[in-house]
Structure 1
Amino acid sequence: MNLIVEQVYIFFYAVLAGGVLAFLYDILRIKRRAIKTNVIILSVEDIIFWLLSAIIVFLTVYNSNDGQMRGFIFIGNILGVILYLSLFSKFVIASSMMVINFIKRIVLFIWRVVTYPFKLIYKIISVP
């Protein structure tokens, strides 16, 4: 009985790790929507994401099951990704983009207020 309970905890730990992986991917998606970058930087971001994902899966297996690879751990990871993407992803992305766009508008407004006197002085000086 104790072995079964332990395996269930390991499975839930794997589901949690899958949710964390999906959340990290959402952070990457949010960053890509907010900041446009070139192909080289996108490739570097992808490599970093997959390395980080491999580390997270490895640590999950190592910490929860003493490094023993079991099929149900990968099933738990996949289930965690699916649950996160179906339950939380749209909300996380939409709310994050709303906050980022709001902050962008505030920064743009402050920039316009700060630079207005300089633009006005430039217009006065540049008119012959």
Structure 2
Amino acid sequence: MVSPGIMQQGSLFLHAMAFGVALIFCYDLLRIFRRGVPHGTVWIAVEDMFFWLISAFVLFQLMYEKNDGKLRWFVIMGVLLGMILYNVSLSRFVVRFGSFFFRLILRVIRAVIMGIVKILQFLLKPLGKCIQRTCRTGKKSSRYVKKQLKKLYKTVKMGLCKL
């Protein structure tokens, strides 16, 4: 017969391992996002800082609820063991396939938005001609409108290319 104290600590160890697996899985989601939307070192550092701060608070919450806030090294070892087991076994595949699908989704979104931009260009082209005919200054106004529309198009295109 196993004592209830040992059962409770065994359950806590398994919860800690599950937390370690969930923690690295969430970090893998962050890595997938970084591969799909690349950004600089400063933003990566800021993301990591917030991720690990939030993780520390959640780990503290786990220890507070399950073990009355007592610091137990086997809990930290359980978290580390869960992190290592997940990282060695599944992490590589999750990041690889997750990145592939995330990039695929981004490409589809980009294609749809570019299609909408092309349709808007097609629809707004007669508007430029109409403005050219009705304005007093004619060419000057149409050049201005055309220039503004071209700036807008380039801004949208550059923004989409950064995705």
TM exceeding 0.5: yes
Of 47, 51, 54, 2:53 maps to 51
Cα distance between partner residues in 2 of 1:39 and 1:102 = 24
8 A Cα contact 2:64 2:70, kept in partner: yes
Matched residue, 1:61: 63
8 A Cα contact 1:22 1:84, kept in partner: yes
8 A Cα contact 2:19 2:82, kept in partner: yes
- Does residue 7 of the first structure (1) align with residue 33 of the second (2)? no
Cα distance between partner residues in 2 of 1:32 and 1:109 = 21
Gaps of 5+ in 2: 130-142, 144-163
**Per-residue deviation at 1:94?**
2.0
Normalising by structure 1, we get a TM-score of 0.83
**Per-residue deviation at 1:67?**
0.7
Give the residue type in structure 1 aligned to 2:97. S
Name which one, 1 or 2, has greater alpha-carbon Rg. Answer: 2
Gaps of 5+ in 1: none
Cα distance between partner residues in 1 of 2:43 and 2:109 = 25
**Per-residue deviation at 1:61?**
1.0
8 A Cα contact 2:13 2:75, kept in partner: yes
Give the residue type in structure 2 aligned to 1:92. V
Matched residue, 1:115: 117
8 A Cα contact 2:32 2:95, kept in partner: yes
Q: How does 1:1-128 map to 2 (within 5 A)?
A: 1-117=3-119, 118=121
Give the residue type in structure 2 aligned to 1:78. L
SS at match of 2:63: helix
Give the residue type in structure 1 aligned to 2:108. I
Give the residue type in structure 1 aligned to 2:11. Y
**Per-residue deviation at 1:115?**
2.9
Cα distance between partner residues in 2 of 1:50 and 1:105 = 30
- CA deviation digits over 1:42-99, x for unaligned, max 9? 2211110110111121112111111111111111011110121122212221222122
Cα distance between partner residues in 2 of 1:99 and 1:83 = 24
Normalising by structure 2, we get a TM-score of 0.67
Identical amino acids, percent of aligned pairs: 33
